[in-house]
Amino acid sequence: MDTIIKKVSYKKNICKDDFFENEIYETAAQILKDGGLVAFPTETVYGLGGDALKSTASEKIYAAKGRPSDNPLIVHIADFAAVERLAAEIPEVAKVLMENFWPGPMTLIFKKKDIVPKETTGGLDTVAVRFPSHPIARRLIETAGVYIAAPSANASGRPSPTTAQHVAEDLTGRIDMIIDGGPVEIGLESTIIDVTGDTPTILRPGFITKEMLEDVLDKVEVDPAILEEHMHENLVAKAPGMKYRHYAPKGQLYLVEGSDANRVVEQINELVAMQQTAGKKVAVIATDETIQDYQGDMVVSIGSREDESSVAHALFSILRKMDTEQVDVIYCESFTRANLGQAIMNRLLKAAGYQMIHTDDV
């Protein structure tokens, strides 16, 4: 299959009088209406879209990504009224969340209506719904006149794509079209909140943090599977079960954590020297504050501790770089688990297969 790749400018998108851009949206919309697949930018990461109400389109998405078909997709909408067509019930807490955080990087899990095929929901009776804020995503949904089922547009197991080039690396020849809208803003996938139970529960942390949700809700729970206790089972730096490896680079990634930042730097430098002696290609994922303190074959900054959104933005593209540079071993600094740090650490810990080194214990 030939994959069409088209660039559209984010800004021009606001005015709808550009002939060439209109044609790009029309082409993409037709592909979706015909049951094909189009990758497109959202504010979080690039999505791989198909018509959410067509079971064959969802099957194609699973095949293109190499994703197990019991892992449900998120349905993207471009207006509030769409929720009523997809969700069997809209609880009061959901309305509060929709008013505060939509359009934006938040996905809500509802009980589904019958029109949503089980292929889209991975066999579940619930449906994940998101109203993205990105103008390209919204215009695509509006032009096609369909709801778009879209997981992140990466091959299953690889880091989520934050540029159209990442999508092309993973999916060229497997999908019909890629709309290139430049690098995304946020860089981490949406916050997923289950609103089907008594208390809203965060299933995946994201840019909308627990703290932000607590500002508008009485109570928020966090799924234990993304909490500390789960991580601590795997503290020893040995290869964990494959079920934990998600965004994993090909090299071995270790997170290094400690209360004293200088000690973390010293520890990483010692480990780097040791690995280099053993003939390994070693990378350090540092921060703007520490980058000058490291030795290594490759030292990169993931962003500034003063602005964790810069870390979120760079995270997946740095993990991909570790593969293109064919690094054997990677040491990465850790972050606090508060605010956006919770989502950053969730992704880093998954990528590291929960391999952590604690300098306080050494």
Q: 78-117: b or e for each residue (b if 16 or more CB lie within 10 Å)?
A: beeebbeebbeebbebbebbbeebbbbbbbbbbebeeebb
Judged by CB under 5 A, the chain residues 142 through 181 that form the site for Mg ion are 152
Region of 29-37, 185-193, 234-242, 344-352 interacting with ligand TXA (CB under 6 A): 185-193
Measured from the CB of residue 152, what is the shortest distance to ligand TXA in angstroms? 4
Interface with ligand TXA (CB under 6 A), residue from 29, 127, 220, 271:
127
**Letter for the amino acid at 228?**
E
Bridge partners for 179 per DSSP = 6
Measured from the CB of residue 188, what is the shortest distance to ligand TXA in angstroms? 8
How far apart, in whole angstroms, are the C-alpha atoms of residue 36 and residue 360? 53
Q: Which is nearer to ligand TXA, 152 or 342 (CB)?
A: 152
Q: Which is nearer to Mg ion, 152 or 301 (CB)?
A: 152
Measured from the CB of residue 203, what is the shortest distance to ligand TXA in angstroms? 6
Residue recorded with tokens 């074959």: 297
Helix (H) or strand (E) holding 271: helix 261-277
Phi-psi region of 138 (alpha: psi -120 to 50; beta: other; left: phi over 0): alpha
- Under the binding rule (CB under 6 A), the answer on residue 222 touching ligand TXA is no
- Under the binding rule (CB under 6 A), the answer on residue 195 touching ligand TXA is no
x/- contact string, 39-78, with ligand TXA (CB under 6 A)?
---x-xx-x-----------------------xxxx----
How far apart, in whole angstroms, are the C-alpha atoms of residue 254 and residue 352? 6
- Under the binding rule (CB under 5 A), the answer on residue 107 touching Mg ion is no
How far apart, in whole angstroms, are the C-alpha atoms of residue 356 and residue 334? 9
- Under the binding rule (CB under 6 A), the answer on residue 166 touching ligand TXA is no
- Under the binding rule (CB under 5 A), the answer on residue 275 touching Mg ion is no
- Under the binding rule (CB under 5 A), the answer on residue 267 touching Mg ion is no
Burial grade of 223 (CB within 10 A; 0-12, 13-18, 19 or more): middle
Tokens representing 158 are 């690889």
Measured from the CB of residue 1, what is the shortest distance to ligand TXA in angstroms? 21
Residues that bind ligand TXA (CB under 6 A): 42, 44-45, 47, 71-74, 107, 109, 121, 124, 126-128, 130, 150-152, 189-190, 192, 203
